[in-house]
Amino acid sequence: MNDLRVSVLCLIATLAIYFLNKRLYRRWHKLLMMPLVMTPMVLVALLVITHISWQNYIGESHWLLWLLGPATLAFAVPVYENLAIIRRHWMSLSAGVITATSVAVFSSVWLARMLTLPEAIQRSLAVRSITTPFALAAAKQLGGQPDLVALFVVITGVFGMAVGDVLFIRLAVKQGMAKGAGFGAASHGAGTARAYEIGQEEGVVSSLVMMLSGVVTVIIAPAIGHLLWATV
């Protein structure tokens, strides 16, 4: 079987598994059944069993990665429809975004250095808390590895979404805006999806914080590289 046919079959399999997974998740609303969790696990197992390389898999599936950009921008629609919330709380949201972005970047790199991880992993971990399109753009400026960046972003999103509710209960966080900001800043797209499940206000705030965090990180990425690694 030639490479093109394999790539096309991989694309069909990816879409089929994803949509089947969505149907299963609507029926069994469990964390492990989420498409963001189950679909990659099934695909990885399939590639390992069939000995299909990453190059063959991504050949006709690369446009799915491109769709991450428009999908992220789509979160701006509910933000625009709820501008009143943003106007009332713009100062606290701005302060939260700057603080969360700084803490996420520097704590990730600091912990990686404490564990003596290679510099490539440090650079890739620095952008783990922003959504994939922004993370890839920022990582390019920092010298991170795209594959590692995508992996760290997914793990961060799923973990934050999974433990977010528990942390809010433990910390007695009850305000919807605070929950939304927490999900958006710590677990980007996956957290935002969870925030919309909780409520409209939570989802809107999470969308805004997620996008602002991504934009801020991309803008300051050269400064981060210079500060942490003396490179731009």
Give yes or no for residue 114 having a pLDDT over 90. yes
- Domain boundary, last residue among 66, 86, 111: 66
**Rounded (5°) CA angle 114-158-76:** 110
User: Within this chain, do residues 55 and 145 fall inside the same structural domain, yes or no?
Assistant: no
pLDDT at 2: 65
User: Within this chain, do residues 34 and 84 fall inside the same structural domain, yes or no?
Assistant: no
Percent of the chain predicted with pLDDT > 70: 98
When pLDDT is averaged across residues 32-55 and rounded to a whole number, the result is 86
- Domain boundary, last residue among 37, 66, 95: 66
Torsion angle (degrees, nearest 10) of CA 63, 65, 70, 75: 150
The reply to whether 71 falls in a domain is no
User: Within this chain, do residues 219 and 109 fall inside the same structural domain, yes or no?
Assistant: yes
Least confident of 58-72, 142-156, 173-187: 58-72
User: Within this chain, do residues 150 and 102 fall inside the same structural domain, yes or no?
Assistant: yes
pLDDT at 20: 93
Residue 132 has a CB neighbour count (10 Å cut-off) of 22
User: Within this chain, do residues 175 and 128 fall inside the same structural domain, yes or no?
Assistant: yes
User: Within this chain, do residues 101 and 211 fall inside the same structural domain, yes or no?
Assistant: yes
When pLDDT is averaged across residues 139-164 and rounded to a whole number, the result is 88
Prediction pTM value: 0.79
Sign of the torsion angle spanned by Cα atoms 195, 199, 201, 204 = positive
pLDDT at 125: 92
User: Within this chain, do residues 54 and 116 fall inside the same structural domain, yes or no?
Assistant: no
pLDDT at 231: 52
Q: What's the mean pLDDT when you consider all of the chain?
A: 85
Name the domain count of the chain: 2
When pLDDT is averaged across residues 65-73 and rounded to a whole number, the result is 75
Length of the chain in residues, anyone? 232
The reply to whether 212 falls in a domain is yes
- Domain boundary, last residue among 45, 66, 87: 66
User: Within this chain, do residues 96 and 144 fall inside the same structural domain, yes or no?
Assistant: yes
The reply to whether 81 falls in a domain is yes
The parent domain of residue 30 ranges over: 3-66
Instruction: Identify whether the C-beta of residue 137 lies closer than 8 Å to the C-beta of residue 126.
Output: no
**Per-residue H/E/C for the chain:** CCHHHHHHHHHHHHHHHHHHHHHHHHHCCCHHHCHHHHHHHHHHHHHHHHCCCHHHHHCCCHHHHHCHHHHHHCCHHHHHHCHHHHHHCHHHHHHHHHHHHHHHHHHHHHHHHHCCCCHHHHHHHCCCCCCHHHHHHHHHHHCCCHHHHHHHHHHHHHHHHHHHHHHHHHCCCCCHHHHHHHHHHHHHHHHHHHHHHHCHHHHHHHHHHHHHHHHHHHHHHHHHHHHHHCCC
Give yes or no for residue 232 having a pLDDT over 50. no
User: Within this chain, do residues 59 and 166 fall inside the same structural domain, yes or no?
Assistant: no
